[in-house]
Amino acid sequence: MAEQSLIVKEKILSFIAKLIEKFDSQLIEKVYNPKKFVEFLLDEIKLKKLAGTTKGGIWHIIGVLISKYSIMLDSYKIEIHDVIFHEFRKLLGKNTKFEFKSVQGILKAYIFLLEDPQLSPEQSKIIINH
C-alpha cells in the first residue's frame, strides 16, 4: 500500500486477488490470515484517502475473500455491507469525482457478498432491507 505508483498498486492488488482465488485455501491462510486481512483492507478504505483504482482492487480482494472464506468471515459481512453503502454515498455525493474503478470493485465485492450461500437469514434481511 505504500507504493507510490497507482499502476503498480493496481497490478499488485489484482495479483493478490488472483492468488487468493486460484491457490489452495490452506496455503493462502498461511500467507494471509483472512480475518486480519479483511480488517486491514476495511481500515484502508475507511481511514485513508485512496485512488479509485486502489479502492477497486481492495474491494475485489474483499469479495474474493468472502467467496473463499465465507464461514470464517461471517462476522464481517454486515460491516462490509455497511462500508459499501457508505462508500457509495461518498462516491455519489456532490463535488466528488466519479471513480469508475472504485465502483467496479465495490460491485464485484457486493456480488460475491450477495451470492454467498452461507449468508444467514438475518444477514440477508439486513442487507436487502438496508
Residue 13 lies in a domain: yes
Cell 505504500 locates to 2
Residue range of the domain that includes 34: 6-129
Residue 78 lies in a domain: yes
1 found inside a domain? no
Convert the pLDDT of each residue in 64-111 to its tens digit: 999 888 888 888 888 888 888 888 788 777 666 777 788 888 888 888
Quote the pTM value: 0.80
The number of domains in the chain is 1
Query: Which amino acid, residue 23?
Result: F
pLDDT over threshold 80, residue 20:
yes
pLDDT tier, 38 (very low <50, low <70, confident <90, very high otherwise):
very high
